[in-house]
Amino acid sequence: MVLLVLVLGIIQLYEPKTMIDTVNKYGMAFAPRTLYWGVTGQDVRVVQDKLLRWQYYDGQVDGIYGARTYRAVRRFQEKNGLKVDGVVGPSTASAMGISASAAPAGSTQGVSRSADEYLLARTIHGEARGEPYIGKVAVGAVVLNRTKSPSFPNTIAGVVYQPLAFTAVADGQINLTPNKDSINAARDALNGWDPTYGCLYYWNPATATSKWIWSRKVTLKIGKHWFGI
């Protein structure tokens, strides 16, 4: 009994650091199950090697999922009748002969949800970290609403890394470490909170450069962002 109490005490003592470490490593630990622009690792090397041998890829096999890998994946998907989103999810991985759906050693159920949550948090942090909390959730909700629309990719990674879709991806802010608010906002959005009531777009009227975005119908405004359909 004394030993059990001591062990529990040690767990409680180190639990906060363990949770922080887990959050900081989400992208590296879980992303290989779904590969997309920005992730790194051995799984990426495997994809690059296959695409190189099949003459879809013309870069180095360096384990870094960048522009060349993204374009090569899209070419492979188009050639093989797959959804062309530049993301190596289960269908694309299966077509490549890669078992990407298998969870990493030591993982548990819900790993895919954790990867989506962290990518969504990174998107929120890159796009809306100066916005009020409800505005952060709203940005996350727009990403999720797009996954449900036939006009967009059906995965979070596919939506986020769709070419020219998000400024944070273009300027690299997607790679910043999200803070607690951004992570909580991603979690709230995934749990069903949609302050936008179904919006598919948002923009800052003070900085928007796309003329097309002004053709969208504005349904509400939160912080500096306008939301529309």
Instruction: List, in sequence order, every residue forming a beta bridge with 14; answer none if it has no partner.
Output: none
- 181: which 2 tokens? 């608010």
Assign domain 36-96 to its CATH architecture.
Answer: Orthogonal Bundle (1.10)
Sorted by where each begins, the domain ranges of the chain are 36-96, 111-228
Instruction: List, in sequence order, every residue forming a beta bridge with 220; answer none if it has no partner.
Output: 227
Cβ pair 68, 58 in contact under 8 A? yes
Query: Is residue 5 over pLDDT 90?
Result: no
Nearest CA-CA partner of 34 in 107, 108, 126, 111: 111
- For the segment 93-105, the average pLDDT, to the nearest whole number, is 63
Note the pLDDT of residue 109.
34
Q: Looking at 7-16, 75-84, 179-188, which range is the least confident one?
A: 7-16
Residue 150's φ and ψ, nearest 5 degrees, are: -65, -10
For 53-75, b/e burial (b = at least 16 CB within 10 A) is: eeebbeeebebbbeebbbbbbbb
Cα angle, residue 50 at apex, residues 107 and 164 outer, rounded to 5°: 80
**H helix or E strand, kind and range, residue 92:** helix 90-96
Query: Is residue 95 over pLDDT 70?
Result: yes
CB atoms within 10 A of CB 121: 27
- In CATH terms, the superfamily for domain 111-228 is Cell wall hydrolase SleB, domain 1 (1.10.10.2520)
107 three-class SS: coil
Tell me how far the alpha carbon of residue 86 is from its chain's centroid: 13
Residues contacting residue 18 through CB under 8 Å, at least 6 positions apart? none
More confident residue, 217 or 8: 217
**pLDDT per residue over 123-141, tens digit each?**
999 999 999 999 999 999 9
Note the pLDDT of residue 6.
40
51 three-class SS: helix
**H helix or E strand, kind and range, residue 182:** helix 180-190
Q: Looking at 12-26, 30-44, 85-99, 154-168, which range is the least confident one?
A: 12-26
Instruction: List, in sequence order, every residue forming a beta bridge with 221; answer none if it has no partner.
Output: 226
